[in-house]
Structure 1
Amino acid sequence: MRYLSPNTLDDAFDLLTSNDLTVVAGGTDFFPSRQRHELHTDILDVTRINGLSGINLVDGRWRIGAATSWTDIARADLPVAFRGLQMAAREVGSLQIQNSGTIAGNLCNASPAADGVPPLLTLEASVELGSARGFREVPLSEFITGVRKTALSDDEIVTAIYLPDPPKGTVGHFEKLGARRYLVISITMTSVIIGLNENRRINYARVAVGAASAVAQRLDQLEADLIGKSPETVEVSSEHLAPLSPIDDVRGDAAFRLDAVAEQCVRAIAEAGQHHG
């Protein structure tokens, strides 16, 4: 087994083109998944690539480098619409995991319970993929295609996450349900971003739910029905939850998950309204 740690994207692309490699950033999902099995693949560590970390506003869009840690995201000076993403960043495992784990690693692992995905969906994120062939951008809603499946080709790596600058005054919130307060896989999680007009009626709404379907989902009908409502009087119906397809497992059955999501939506929207300026 070889451990490769290039400093430039070009070197990383060349290595991917000519070798069969497993791409690793923080490794916080990859190495535990190996359990006690030996590694039989060469590792490409992307965390030392120049320019692959950091958060910047460029041409009206926020760019989060693929190797940016959850700790860096949680501590960044970002608009209040990013509050849900920063709350989720503080829920990704322990402090040690947050220091090592990266935003792109969370997406590429493609777990239905990945904490970062719902808030990124509400922020209408897109994923930049790079290879020796060039770069392409894919909406996050199309990047994760199933459980542990993504749109990445074998010769590509994620290089950045792009987020349009949210409308001024919008506020984000994140709700996570687990069997305990910390260090737990989500039973359900909900992220929202809302904006309010001068009469405190919702005029902008984004709602996304994770751990209740194979891939996290936006609730488009709920978003549409929220417009004109007060954040304190929101009701969530079964029709609003139609995009979800929760499973029964040891952490909760499908009916419980749907009930939990409905309550999380109500709480998250009310909380975002409370933090609205």
Structure 2
Amino acid sequence: MGAYLQPDTLDEALGILAREPVTIAAGCTDLFAATESQSLNGTVLDVTRVEGLRRIAKEATGWRIGAASTWSDVIAADLPPAFDMLKQAAREVGSVQIQNAGTVAGNICNASPAADGVPPLLSLDAQVEIGAKGGVREVPLAEFLTAPRATVLMPGEMVTAIRIPEGSDKGESRFSKLGARKYLVISIVMVAARLHVQDGFVRDIALAVGACGPIATRLSALEAALRGTPVAGLPDRLQPELIAPALTPITDMRASDEYRREAAVHLLRRVLDDLTLMRSPV
């Protein structure tokens, strides 16, 4: 086993990254599960003590979720209703012990097609803040994930935060996950929806589906078709032909590709039905 480094500042952490190859560790809930030996090889860079990295806050340009923020931090944070879907997903990430340790940034860096946090973050128009010794860059989450277990991170870089831009925190939201059982299960299909209504019409809508392709995806064509329409009867206007082209599900031991396609439509109708019922007159 190599050195175990635990810097206190981001500059120190980025300096280490620029100097040598390391394994970045935070909650380790995915890292240890993917490690075949009893210990990690090479230098380990533990970022859990880096100042400011575990913080969720509103800033001038939107919301910032620090890379070391845990799922329990998300659940406890005072966030607007647009983040409810992210809180719901957080409660589905393993047990409470996993939620206490696992980080939001780790979930996206692991880049699993079934990562619970990705559809809600996509529906929040999340931007990934990437730090390196030479500076910071931001990449849309949809471009950050390139394939199963693959991202755009380059040597010497690490995720420092996830940013939600101003305006994408409007409206209400819901998350729904289908699995073989209620808890501690890999998703068969999951969906996230954010709905912003004004004067009875859909001002903005964001829909994302996970576990139905190599990476989770936004349903841009469907969103465009629904934007500006009356909120009344919205779930009934979901058009499967606008959903199917965006999905490339596989058949595996959990479900067939056909089942996943049908389930995605049903889950989307369910979450939109829930969101529109909230607005129905009593």
Partners of 1:169 and 1:135 in 2: CA distance: 27
What residue number does 2:211 align with? 211
Asked if residue 262 in structure 1 is aligned to residue 261 in structure 2, the reply is: no
Please name the residue that 1:244 is paired with.
Answer: 247
Match of 2:11 in 1: 10
Task: Indicate the residue corresponding to 1:188 in structure 2.
Answer: 189
SS at match of 1:128: strand
Distance 1:168 1:15 in 2: 35
Q: 1:167 offset after TM fit, Å?
A: 5.9
Shift of residue 176, structure 1, vs aligned partner: 0.3
- How far is the alpha carbon of 1:175 from its aligned partner? 0.6
CA distance in 2, matches of 1:232, 1:145: 31
Q: 1:136 to 1:276 in 2, by over 3 A?
A: farther
For structure 2, the 5+ residue unaligned runs are none
Residue 177 of structure 1: aligned partner: 178
Q: Does 1:271 align with 2:250?
A: no
Question: 1:115-130 alignment to 2 at 5 Å?
Answer: 115-130=116-131
* Match status 1:63 vs 2:59: no
Q: In structure 1, how many angstroms separate the alpha carbons of the residues matched to 2:56 and 2:277?
A: 27
Q: CA deviation at 1:197?
A: 2.9
User: In structure 2, do the counterparts of structure 1 residues 101 and 12 end up closer, same or farther at CA, with 3 Å as the change threshold?
Assistant: same
Task: Say whether the 8 Å CA contact 1:81–1:166 is kept in structure 2.
Answer: no
Give the AA of the match of 2:202. Answer: I
Say what the alpha-carbon RMSD is for the aligned residues: 1.6
- Residue matched to 1:159: 160
- 1:2 and 1:276 map into 2 onto residues whose CA distance is 56
Q: Equivalent residues in 2 for 1:5-154 (5 A)?
A: 5-36=6-37, 38-154=39-155
Q: What is the CA distance between 1:275 and its match in structure 2?
A: 3.4
CA shift digits 1:83-132 (9 cap, x unpaired) = 11111111111100000000110010000000000000010010010111
TM-score between the two structures when normalised by the length of structure 1: 0.95
Q: Secondary structure at the match of 2:32?
A: helix
C-alpha distance in 2 between matches for 1:81 and 1:274: 16
Contact 2:125 2:168 in 1 (8 A): no
CA deviations on 1:182-211 (whole Å, 9 max, x unpaired) are 001111100000122333x32311000110
TM superposition shift of 1:53:
1.0
Counterpart in the other structure of 2:223: 223
2:83–2:169 CA contact under 8 A, matched in 1 = no
* Identical-residue share of aligned pairs (%): 45
